[in-house]
Amino acid sequence: MRKVRPMPLRIGFDNERYLEEQTSAILERVGRFDNKLYLEFGGKLLFDYHAARVLPGFDPNVKMRLLQKLRDKSEVVLCIYAGDIERKKVRADFGITYDSDALKLIDDLRDWGIEVIGVVITRFENQPAATVFKKKLERRNIRVYTHPFTKGYPTDVDTIVSNEGYGATEYIHTAKPIIVVTGPGPNSGKLATCLSQIYHEHRHRIHAGYAKFETFPIWNLPLKHPVNIAYEAATADIRDFNLIDSFHLEAYNEKTVNYNRDVEAFPVLRRIIEKITGEDSFYKSPTDMGVNRAGFGITDDEAVREAAVQEIIRRYFRYACEYAIGFVDRETVQRVELLMEDLKARPENRTVVLAARQAASDAEKNGKGNEGIYCGAALELRNCKIITGKNSPLMHAASALILNAVKRLADIPDTIHLLPPNIMESISHFKKDVLKGRMVSLDLEETLIALSISATVNPAAQMAVEKLKELSGCEVHMTHIPTPGDEAGLRKLGVNLTSDPEFATKRLFGR
């Protein structure tokens, strides 16, 4: 069993070194293709919290800083799979659908001074929700392209590279040497968009090329390094797994790490590129296609190893809860369990887990719960102190936890109420008698609103409000799946949340 050592966050990654390495690698690659490169951005372009968790010190927006450095040389195309729009697929870290995430990404890029020159809806077959999304963008003056499924893909290269294949897709007019092709989540059609554009460019006698920029897995770390295993855990639901790049090993006698989809697709991908260009590709392996320099930014291997193990445990809890809700199958959970076994890690190695469970046990001993369910929550402050909270007829465990945490940070005695009884009674009355709700206890979002109101007349509450920002990045565990109000509140506070796969109420619907 892996021993847990609570400790302050150790920095294990150098963003400036990474930026220098990454910028140089991209510019060198552009030069190989007559200054026209289609650069597929895998993973998250903005708010890459997975990378920030497994590489402590990694700036979640460092890729955007990279784009800003290359702003005069680059344009952005955003891809989204029509099927993801249709089934309302959700991005877990933000709790919003992929189409909403696409809109948010466009806004975020604009905030950084970067415009999206077009949105591509891939594998478009006039799906109703995708059609509505298209109209929504067009009426906001955003250029939208629709690409059908590529005829002949993936094996009939002659059809793929023809007027029936890539020739049937709309050509996106670009003006700069680097075209960043990104999108929300995996399988958004980024690669197909890059290849169809290269096909059209060559028909216009422009020798354009392709490269891939994806942080994980990190090709120059060992196959079983926890950082690479954390990538497998993060993609357990889509069955990705890492392996040694056999093509790179054969070509260069060098072991590098890639993941199954890239390695499996490489022979066809190389044939497609060679068919488009009419010449042998200088890419000998999937690793060759990458311009990924994250491994060179690691400064403390032990720190990133420990952080990656913790991320794998977080993923286990997330998938266990998604299984309970019905979002994933049992095999997804089992895959992460096997990864944890390989690392000799257990769920309880997450410091806040046992503390949360103890809080729930204490609530049960004291007979303070709600609907006969006793919930506990725990938070680890930056100084490694553990704070707990439990549910009651008045508030959820998450609400009690956050109030207790900000009290500790502000050195407010336990005897001082942050929320006066009259405010609590007024909100409970409003929820029960006006809104006709069954659950009158306050969830975290409601508690934070009440705290902000109390702060107008209560100096202690004002001190507590000012400490809320110090909770960002803290670890939190709950013994029950958070309600929507608790989850939204914790997400806005920026904590790293996990929970046991238990429900906080016996009711199947509503509150």
pLDDT in tens, 399-418: 999 999 999 999 999 888 89
C-alpha 429: how far from chain center: 39
Are the C-beta atoms of 510 and 438 separated by less than 8 Å? yes
In the prediction, which pLDDT does 18 show? 97
Across 236-260, average pLDDT: 96
Which pLDDT does position 6 carry in this prediction? Answer: 44
Is 286 a member of any domain? no
Q: Are residues 425 and 327 in the same domain?
A: no
Last residue of a domain, one of 182, 215, 248: 215
pLDDT at position 93 over 80: no
The answer to the question of residue 295 being in a domain is no
What residue has token string 């890492």? 242
Residue 72, pLDDT above cutoff 80: yes
In a domain, 404, yes or no: yes
Residue 278 lies in a domain: no
In a domain, 232, yes or no: no
Mean pLDDT on 63-83: 93
Q: Which two tokens stand for residue 375?
A: 């919930």
User: 480 and 388, same structural domain?
Assistant: yes
> Does residue 309 sit within a domain?
yes
Say if residue 329 is in the same domain as residue 355: no
How many whole angstroms separate alpha carbon 295 and alpha carbon 55? 10
- Of 163, 189, 215, which residue sits at a domain end? 215
Task: With cut-offs at 50, 70 and 90, classify the pLDDT of residue 440.
Answer: low
Q: What is the pLDDT of residue 394?
A: 85
**What is the C-alpha R_g of the chain?**
25
- The per-residue pLDDT for 325 is 92
| CA–CA distance, 192 with 187 (Å, rounded to integer) | 10
- For residues 468 and 493, give the distance between their C-alpha atoms in angstroms, rounded to a whole number: 7
Q: What does the alpha-carbon distance between residue 445 and residue 178 come to, in Å, rounded to a whole number? A: 43
327 & 424 share domain: no
pLDDT for the residue numbered 503: 87
The pLDDT score that the predictor gives to residue 5 is 43
Report, as an integer, the average pLDDT of 70-87.
93
Q: What is the DSSP code (8-state) at residue 87?
A: T
Residue among 436, 370, 430, 431 at smallest CA distance from 400: 370
Q: The domain spanning residue 470 has which CATH number?
A: 3.40.140.40
CB–CB of 74/67 below 8 Å?
Answer: yes
- Domain holding 38: CATH number? 3.10.630.10
Least confident of 3-12, 277-286, 374-383: 3-12
Average pLDDT, the chain: 91
Predicted local confidence at residue 155, as pLDDT: 86
- In this predicted structure, the answer to whether residue 427 has a pLDDT above a threshold of 80 is no
pLDDT tens for each residue of 142-197: 999 999 999 998 889 999 999 999 999 999 999 999 999 998 877 899 999 999 99
pLDDT band at 9 (very low <50, low <70, confident <90, very high): low
Residue 185: the pLDDT is: 75
- Residues 335 and 355 occupy one common structural domain: no
pLDDT over 80 at 41, yes or no: yes
Q: Is residue 139 domain-shared with residue 186, that is, in the same domain? A: yes
**The pLDDT of residue 57 is above 70:** yes
**What pLDDT sits at residue 424?**
75
Tell whether 166 and 313 lie within a shared domain: no
Q: Are residues 123 and 88 in the same domain?
A: yes
Structure tokens at 469: 């920002």
Top mean pLDDT of 42-51, 65-74, 246-255 is at: 246-255
Is 408 a member of any domain? yes
Residue 230 lies in a domain: no
Q: Indicate if 337 and 196 belong to the same structural domain.
A: no
Indicate the pLDDT class of residue 47, thresholds 50, 70 and 90.
confident
Helix, strand, coil percentages, rounded to 5, for the chain: 50, 15, 35
- Model confidence at 439: pLDDT above 80: no
pLDDT confidence bin for 90, thresholds 50/70/90: confident
What pLDDT is stored for residue 410 in this prediction? 96
pLDDT at site 263: 95
Chain-centroid distance of CA 265 in Å reads: 24
The DSSP 8-state label assigned to residue 13 in this structure reads B
Do residues 186 and 41 lie in contact, with contact meaning Cβ atoms separated by under 8 Å? no
In this predicted model, what pLDDT tens digit does every residue of 372-398 receive, in sequence order? 688 999 999 999 999 999 998 888 999
For residue 443, which of 478, 391, 495 has the smallest C-alpha distance? 391
pLDDT of residue 91: 72
Across 25-48, average pLDDT: 90
Domain range for 197: 15-215
Task: Determine the average pLDDT of the residues in 357-362.
Answer: 94
Range in 49-53, 93-97, 387-391 with the lowest mean pLDDT: 93-97
Same domain, 328 and 356: no
The per-residue pLDDT for range 447-505, each reduced to its tens digit, is 999 999 899 989 999 999 999 999 999 999 999 999 999 999 999 999 999 999 998 77
Provide the pLDDT for residue 7.
Answer: 44
Confidence grade of residue 349 (pLDDT, cut at 50, 70, 90): very high
Same domain for 317 and 371, yes or no, is no
Q: Is the pLDDT of residue 96 over 50?
A: yes
- In Å, how far from its chain's centre is CA 481? 19
Counting the structural domains of the chain, the total is: 3
Confidence of residue 42 (pLDDT cuts 50, 70, 90): confident
pLDDT value, residue 4: 42
Domain end marker among 311, 342, 373: 342
305/423 same-domain check = no
